[in-house]
Amino acid sequence: MKKIVYVALAFFAFSVVVRACSCIYISTFCGVVNHIGQLVEQYPADFGGHQLIAKGIVLNHTYHGIQMQLLDVIIGNETRDTINVWGDWNGSSCRLTTSVLEDNDTLVIAVSNRENGDELDSIENANDYAISACGVYYLHYTNGQVQGYITQSQVLESMPYEDFKAMVPNCYTTAIEEVGLATNFVYPNPFSEALFVANSQSVRIFNTLGRVVYAGATTPNVPINLSHLPAGIYYIETTQSNKTAKMQKVLKM
């Protein structure tokens, strides 16, 4: 866990801005996921249109990168067993270093296809991956738990891996539109005691630690009583016609 803190402290010593990459430090893994998603969408020629969020084991270090064995792909279309992930090359690129990672670490990483416009050397291949966001690009995985700065920059969080996987799409601000649902299908927002969910078959509600605080089937225009929940921010996951939509956070007063 200390290694994540070291990355943050080391990075604040400098700030660089280059094309298609923002080196303003992003202090949560969820923020990095969202940022990379925007880069891939806005600069497809540079990033190959590929984003990868996956769990894997660091096999070894080579030059300015690592070789990783993939255990589970959360987001992405990668089918290979092993991949190369490249970091900073002698301070000249908008990437963080991979030197803080240790061999045999089991991690969850958020990376993009290697930048096609980044002509560093002949070592990197077009189908490799790179650390394209300056921030918390990895989390630790131990005994079924994901640990690190997941959604809060000042809190080291821990959540079950399956709950984490279900939460990740919440990181995208456009997740609701991607499945063709309106942004107001959960109302009212803010709410005090009950929520209404339209056009949905089932609902799960997560707190900011990624724990499921409610799960069940829904009926249109029938309220979900959440008076027992403490005030705070929550995330709504709804399922409709075999599709999963993530709503932006809601506030309980």
Q: Are residues 143 and 187 in the same domain?
A: no
Q: Are residues 26 and 140 in the same domain?
A: yes
Q: Tokens for 6, please give them.
A: 């070291």
In a domain, 168, yes or no: no
Q: Are residues 153 and 232 in the same domain?
A: no
Residue 71 has pLDDT above 90, yes or no: yes
pLDDT-derived band at 131 (thresholds 50, 70, 90) equals: confident
**31 φ, ψ (degrees, to nearest 5):** -65, -40
Q: What type of residue is 196?
A: F
Residue 180 has pLDDT above 50, yes or no: no
Q: What is the mean pLDDT of residues 242-253?
A: 64
Q: What type of residue is 236?
A: I
Domain holding 35, by residue range, is 2-161
Q: How far apart are CA 73 and CA 103, in angstroms?
A: 20
Q: What is the mean pLDDT of residues 113-127?
A: 67
In a domain, 40, yes or no: yes
Q: Are residues 154 and 124 in the same domain?
A: yes
Q: What type of residue is 206?
A: F
Q: CA dist 251 to 153, 202, 207, 228, 230, Å?
A: 19, 20, 11, 14, 10
pLDDT-derived band at 93 (thresholds 50, 70, 90) equals: low
Q: Tokens for 207, please give them.
A: 């707190």
Q: What is the mean pLDDT of residues 31-36?
A: 83
pLDDT-derived band at 147 (thresholds 50, 70, 90) equals: very high
Q: Are residues 203 and 181 in the same domain?
A: yes
Can you give the pLDDT at residue 108?
Answer: 96
Q: Are residues 22 and 133 in the same domain?
A: yes
Q: How far apart are CA 129 and CA 126, in angstroms?
A: 8
What torsion, rounded to 10 degrees, do the Cα atoms 238, 243, 246, 252 define? -10
DSSP H helical ranges for 142-227: 161-167, 175-178
pLDDT-derived band at 2 (thresholds 50, 70, 90) equals: very low
Q: What is the mean pLDDT of residues 114-122?
A: 57
In a domain, 6, yes or no: yes
Domain boundary residue, one of 102, 127, 161: 161
Can you give the pLDDT at residue 146?
Answer: 95
DSSP H helical ranges for the chain: 2-11, 29-42, 44-47, 161-167, 175-178
Q: Check residues 143 and 248 and name the one with the higher pLDDT.
A: 143
Q: How far apart are CA 154 and CA 146, in angstroms?
A: 16
Residue owning tokens 């997740």? 175
Q: What is the mean pLDDT of residues 151-174?
A: 80
Q: How far apart are CA 132 and CA 112, in angstroms?
A: 6
Neighbours of 74 (CB within 10 A): 18
Q: CA dist 12 to 5, 101, 161, 233, 240, Å?
A: 11, 19, 30, 29, 43
pTM score > 0.75 for this model?
A: no
Q: What is the mean pLDDT of residues 230-238?
A: 79
Q: Tell me how many domains the chain contains.
A: 2
CATH for 204 = 2.60.40
